[in-house]
Structure 1
């Protein structure tokens, strides 16, 4: 690839970073959402209530290769991100030849917490960003070569991105906007390969459509209902949270470079300067999606990971469209980003700073799960209960992943009715664990409270839970009950 001629140090740095991420993936305990996706991988389906199925496929393949371990369910994340970095670097060299834009774009993206530390965790954003970068690479090859066959590759890769997360639709929307606004690209509208690429994207995504059609469109309704949703907080508060959160997750210098690069790309596209076509393509992909998130923040909170899709193209324009005055901030930005990423991973793995839950999100999400599961299993045995139950999907999944295979976990709630998982036999007695942060009465009919238990890391409390004695009922007499898969 064009990006790697004379860039051996960059490749060695990427290899070392990938090894560090694999080590962190092996060491860090899975977060509740990751454990939930592990359950998906053990109950494969065409799609799921929360997201399309790609994260389940990645988790299932990783677990098949490395077992039902933290490394197993995360294995494809660091490897996929390394491949995406190579593709993004090559894309930058083809869009902005002679400017070293590709390696710098990949370096900036890898130095963000969203992409750097986030690649250690297995969430739908991980495969989404990998296929998003791959789709950008196909577009760069198309733009540089004017070979229409790259539309077919882009269609497949965009379809795989859609199979990862619904926000990938913004990639297609940006490309359509570019085709309409860029006069030198409009000739593609008469090329059958463009339309064939669109058909391939739809074909790749079709399992999700089929699953939704069979399940009353519940997933489309859930995710589509978030667009334009309103909440009780003020617009200024949500906008401040969005911008401040992105500056933190992307790291301040890289966030500023991405914003300045996007403005420079729009200006270059407008003035038709050298590289205007490439700048326009990336601006069309970045700006409308950014405006959508800003609009969403005028009415409700935008989760910090949602805008992650902006940064592959934003890093490309930051590396390819900014002049020397801005370029001098690249090295400090990468150094700061990698340093912050290392600090976050060290805190998550070893907790050298005794921070309370409110100041340490790694404690709340990752802290003390193995010890908590062992203590809870001892409580179950002492009380003569046959199983452990939970109504929070992340908690139930964590327990299924950490408890010994002989201790089965029963999950309760409507979402489990969409899984092909067996129901427990009626009349069994179990011990249900429920977070004290969860309001309202227990979902389990007839649950009787019997004390409590805490989860902690190095003596610092992460969460407190109430224990309840429960009895399984006949199917159909209460909320859905399912037996979660056991660890192999």
Structure 2
């Protein structure tokens, strides 16, 4: 019997309603949750069309451009785009699971997936992982058709889908790696390595990835260097830090919910043990393992020496969940859904009432109020421009609301991710006055901060600290922003280019003479 029908019957009706409640919480959060800095930053991508971007490929910009074009330029539209694509990914996982199992087991796989915080993150926070997982899932679907059903046209589809996955996020390199690994370990299909089809698939992937490759070529391979060689340099230092591994385990337990994560590890271990004890091992299990183990093991092995972000392993869980779905008994699925329901109730309470303030800029609280207060300061002191210097978060999120463009930390000679590549001609700002917003996420009090930050001195003739912007929630201060009025900007202190502190090998295109204005469409609601 179909698993979805079973969970709607009397014995499991509570589980069914809990699962529906989890989905409803996600839908409600679309409309009541404020913008995350990631939403703002990738909207910034969409407002500056490009073949690719400094820190990520362009698919997330395509998604946000499409959603804001259809639903309007507002925060809800951004989150709707993410949520709709995530729902399509869940449907795609069901269709993929049906290739391996009957409806009952495929239903189990989707129930497990829907119960995770991973789906909530993908639905409510804009990241390149949303399009990546969509195209990743369809790539596996297409490769299955090509390999197990011997339908040659699907090799071509697989190449296109792999390319689109790479246009979403560089993690997609694990797709051709997984394909080659499977063909190497497969006794039945190894001969396909000597046919042109797998290699044609990879060639097509490269062709579809052309926007990313061309952008990197035109910009001295800045993005590849940022995501590749720079991180490899950090790994090369080889300083063991067990807390990184513990942090990764904790994050993955939260992302999948402990029941599923433990069963996933158990299921993969038993599969490998079974493979080691048998000469014959199902080819379809080898296929699923080939797209789980490489990415999962790579990042876990890196974790003692490098901080692995919570979302990097996400693609592995598509095939991993399908692999273990048949072995998870309904009792444990019940526990998984109950855990997830409780966690999502807590998430809803946090969004609505914010009982536990987040000591980080990665929050949805206070951005509109920050913009409103910043506008008051700008008008009162007749400042010519506003900028911030906390990577991208304050600048990007203020830009959601502001009619005039809020600049990044390249104003004071610091690398500013894709803010460095939009054609801002800083020399046009010489002699102007600015408002500098400096977030203090771990503030201890609401008093003024450092009177004259050293990083501002070389670029402005004088700096005066203004009253901090304090954001209150439930009568308590939850966010603090230091504010400085900066006079007479000099973009080239001591005759030096403000990018002189940055590795110019990778960011030679900082100041482009393409634009003297800052076109932007705000998201005022």
Cα gap change, 1:384 to 1:122, in 2 (>3 Å): same
Task: Report the TM-score when normalising by structure 1.
Answer: 0.87
Residues 333, 42 of structure 1: CA spacing in aligned structure 2 closer, same or farther, 3 A cutoff?
same
> Which of these residues, 239, 248, 256, is aligned with residue 242 of structure 1?
248
The residue that corresponds to 1:365 in the other structure is 363
What is the count of residue pairs matched by the alignment?
476
| Structure-to-structure mapping, 1:18-97, within 5 angstroms | 20-95=25-100, 97=101
Question: Does the aligned pair in 2 maintain the 1:455–1:461 contact within 8 Å?
Answer: yes
Greater shift in the superposed pair: 432-441 or 113-122: 432-441
Q: Structure 2: state its 5+ residue gaps.
A: 9-14, 443-452, 500-509, 512-516
Answer whether contact 1:143 1:278 (CA < 8 A) is retained: no
CA displacement at 1:461 relative to structure 2 = 3.2
For residues 273 and 103 of structure 2, what CA distance do their matches in structure 1 show?
Answer: 18
- Alpha-carbon distance, 1:88 to partner: 0.9
| Maintained 8 Å contact 2:3/2:105 | no
Q: What pairs with 1:465-476 in structure 2 (closer than 5 Å)? A: 465-470=481-486, 471-473=488-490
Conservation of the 8 A alpha-carbon contact between 2:19 and 2:115:
no
8 Å CA contact 1:49–1:418 kept in 2: the answer is: yes
Moved more, 110-119 or 200-209: 110-119
1: distance between equivalents of 2:233 and 2:478?
Answer: 33
2:438 is matched with which residue?
434
For 1:117, the equivalent position in structure 2 comes to: 121
Asked if 1 retains the 8 angstrom alpha-carbon contact of 2:3 and 2:104, the reply is: no
Structure 2 counterpart SS, 1:146:
coil
Taking the aligned partners of 2:479 and 2:150, their CA distance within structure 1 comes to 56
The C-alpha deviation readout for 1:279-331, integer Å capped at 9, x for no partner, is 111112111222111221121211111111221111111203x265xx53122
2:217 counterpart of 1:213: yes
Q: CA offset at residue 143 of structure 1?
A: 4.7
Counterpart contact for 2:37–2:362, Cα < 8 Å: no
| Cα distance between partner residues in 1 of 2:121 and 2:497 | 44
CA contact (8 A) 2:60 2:128 kept: yes
Instruction: Summarize the alignment of residues 21-420 of structure 1 with structure 2, pairs less than 5 Å apart.
Output: 21-95=26-100, 97-98=101-102, 100-224=104-228, 225-227=230-232, 229-230=234-235, 234-271=240-277, 276-320=282-326, 322=327, 324=329, 327-348=330-351, 350-351=352-353, 354-358=355-359, 364-392=362-390, 393-403=392-402, 405=403, 407-413=404-410, 414=415, 415=417, 416-420=419-423
Distance 1:153 1:13 in 2: 38
Report SS of the residue matched to 2:127. coil
Bigger drift between 414-423 and 302-311 goes to: 414-423
Distance 1:257 1:273, change over 3 A: farther
Classify the secondary structure of the residue corresponding to 1:357.
coil
Q: For residues 121-168 of structure 1, give each alpha carbon's deviation from its aligned partner in whole angstroms, at most 9, with x where no partner exists.
A: 111111111211222222333454232322222221121111111111
Change (3 A) 1:29 1:90: same
- TM-score, scaled relative to structure 2: 0.82
Q: 2-side partners of 1:328 and 1:12: how far apart?
A: 16
Alignment of 1:429-468 (within 5 A): 429-436=433-440, 441-442=455-456, 445-446=459-460, 448-451=463-466, 452-468=468-484
The 3-state SS of whatever aligns with 1:454 is: strand
Q: Could you list the runs of 5+ residues in structure 1 that have no partner in the other structure?
A: none
The CA RMSD measured in Å over matched residues stands at 3.2
8 Å Cα contact 1:152/1:200 also seen in 2: yes
**Distance change (3 Å), C-alpha of 1:477 and 1:146:** closer
| 1:184 alignment partner, SS class | coil
Q: 1:433 to 1:292 in 2, by over 3 A?
A: same
1:217-250, Cα deviation, whole Å (9 max, x unpaired)? 1111111132473479743222111112211221
Shift of 1:421: 4.9
Q: CA deviation at 1:441?
A: 1.9
Distance (whole Å) between structure 1 residues aligned to residue 315 and residue 458 of structure 2: 39
Contact 2:457 2:463 in 1 (8 A): no
Q: Which moved more, 1:366-375 or 1:408-417?
A: 408-417
Describe the shift of the 1:486–1:91 C-alpha distance in structure 2 as closer, same or farther (beyond 3 A): closer
The answer to whether the 8 Å contact 2:22/2:344 transfers is no
SS of corresponding position for 1:169: helix
Between the aligned partners of 1:469 and 1:175, the Cα distance in structure 2 is 56
Distance in 2 (CA, whole Å) between partners of 1:42 and 1:269 is 50
Give the stretch that moved more between structures: 11-20 or 440-449.
11-20
Q: 1:418 to 1:14 in 2, by over 3 A?
A: farther
Cα separation, partners in 2 of 1:365 and 1:237, compared to 1, 3 Å? same
